[in-house]
Amino acid sequence: MDNLSNFSERLKEFMKDEGLNCPKLASELGVALSTISECKRGAFLPSTRVFYLMLERFHCSADYLLGRTDLPSKSADFRPVPPFAPRLREVMKLFGVSQYRLEKDLPVSGSVVYRWLSGKAVPSVDSLIRLADFFGCSVDFLIGREN
């Protein structure tokens, strides 16, 4: 299964377990009903902002919600997601990766990496997955929710 279908299945699972329908979840998260419906249907991954809201709502691991692990890790131990730019710089330093290497090996354009590092943009959920794979870490580690 790909990331999109994994995410859709996990979202359906959480919604069923918690007795949520699309209008109720959309209302709780403060997002459009169509966003929740389309994510549940598997039409697209949510924006990073909505993804973070879902992580907080379901108290779950990003990697579980994305289907990257089968261990639910429902826990209150996850920290709130910090700003991405300083976290990405921290992860790059930890793994000894330069901006040039990130651009070349990921591959992603220099302007996109610049926007991430300057805090002018955050990666899409797909890009978070690619970055986690590149660094060989969990998405939760990448976004600063776990050590």
Give the domain-ending residue among 65, 98, 117: 65
- The Cα–Cα gap between 32 and 34 comes to 5
- The Cα–Cα gap between 26 and 123 comes to 22
Give the domain-ending residue among 11, 33, 65: 65
Please check whether residue 130 lies inside any domain of the structure.
yes
Residues 89 and 39 in one domain: no
Q: What is the pLDDT of residues 12-49, one digit of tens each?
A: 999 999 999 999 999 999 999 999 999 999 999 999 99
Residues 110 and 137 in one domain: yes
pLDDT at 78: 77
Q: What is the pLDDT of residues 39-81, one digit of tens each?
A: 999 999 999 999 999 999 998 999 999 999 887 765 556 788 8
* DSSP alpha helix (H) spans, the chain: 3-17, 22-29, 33-41, 48-58, 62-65, 84-95, 99-105, 110-118, 125-135, 139-142
User: How many domains is the chain built from?
Assistant: 2
- The Cα–Cα gap between 26 and 4 comes to 19
Q: Taking the model in full, what pTM does it have?
A: 0.91
Q: What is the pLDDT of residues 99-122, one digit of tens each?
A: 999 999 998 999 999 999 999 999
Range of the domain at 129: 84-142
Please check whether residue 76 lies inside any domain of the structure.
no
Please check whether residue 72 lies inside any domain of the structure.
no
